[in-house]
Structure 1
């Protein structure tokens, strides 16, 4: 697609669903940094329905017992990076056996590889990859692990130790990262690696990070939820609950526990637990104490 005939149906649908906007007009595209005086920006190309020759491809394959046995393979080309994100998660949900349990207020479907880790590793690849390279992101699903390889090494100025600490972020594609953040796909800058590590906290298996000059690979081993027994394995539709709470910030800068109670139709105790989880996930920050406590979006 040329810079004059791009469409944003996928992005518009996401903004309508998550943020409640009526239409993705040109003013909003400019605000998002997808359009400037010269036309569509690089980020605008990547988030359009048909990026064209911008090498925004992603290859995903499912392997059998050996790397030479292909059970499924797809090449996602000339499509929005948003579509790539959703399609990969859809396939992983189908390929890895699902596990479900009710725990308190939450209910969530999990797969044999912590879904939070899958999501964060995929988001990191889409946001941090070097789109100037003529190779795509590679997602390889093996019976015992998932590997996500992103083209391009670490961004200039970011050391391996800083990357592994999960406390510093230097996104190559800052506008794409900002859009993902607005859509609550990317929770907060510089927390992806840490969240991947934390998702394996209750398991013997641990993720690994392989960094070379030209690639970054995240290896996520399969886990067994039965191994943790009575330890906290939250099974919840946590993201959907959090998005409903975040929608309160469309009309105000801060919210209270009472606001969450009314928005979700839950008790004060449950609302407190939801907000505590959102603070821990760096979605909101707590201000004040006692009756004066309020919450602000990060």
Structure 2
């Protein structure tokens, strides 16, 4: 009954703390499971104790039956055989009386022994019952203490939950502001990247233009050097040039004219010689042909 009251109080406390956290519910469930395991263990121990008691009773009955059979055998051997062989004998009567007295003494000793054992067992039973009552009382006290501890822990956990909720709210606000700043800097970074890409492209184009200008400048420098060299040669030739005398010019002009006339005369002579060569060649061919015919 005490255990039943303890369970009902514990279940009532569980119903009372429906709003507990998951950790507290798990703790209560673990305690309930532990108590159920303890109850099962106690039932198992009680069953084992009952089984041991029954085995002890059976063993005692077997021992008693063995004792009875031995007593019957002794009675048959010591008394019945003596009476059957010595009917009406005083010795047989004395043996029977002595046997009965001995059995009575043994029975008295056994009764005293069993009474003493029963007394000791009753004392042990009383002691166990007292210990059981003390444990049940301690269990009820522990239940009350546990309920108070759970109430205190629940209040502490509730305060911690409120603090964590406030921290979470503050973190959410900070996170929202951080996200806004991050988006702003992302857009700014995107604009900067686009500007940087445009500048890099412009720099590349200007580098190409600069290389082209440098190549053209080198080519112009070469042309300028060549022109300067030619100009120097011309200036040198111009400085070395002297106008010939008029008579010498006329003589050379006349010599050139004479040479041209001679050239034309020789050209005519060559033409005449070619014509003569052709006529001679035809005549020679005719001579060869006529010689071949003869």
Under TM normalisation by the shorter chain, which class is it? under 0.3
Q: Which structure is richer in relative contact order (CA contacts within 8 A, separation 6 or more)?
A: 2
What TM-score do you get using the length of structure 1 for normalisation?
A: 0.17
Higher helix share: 2
What TM-score do you get using the length of structure 2 for normalisation?
A: 0.17
Based on CA coordinates, which of the two structures has the bigger radius of gyration? 2
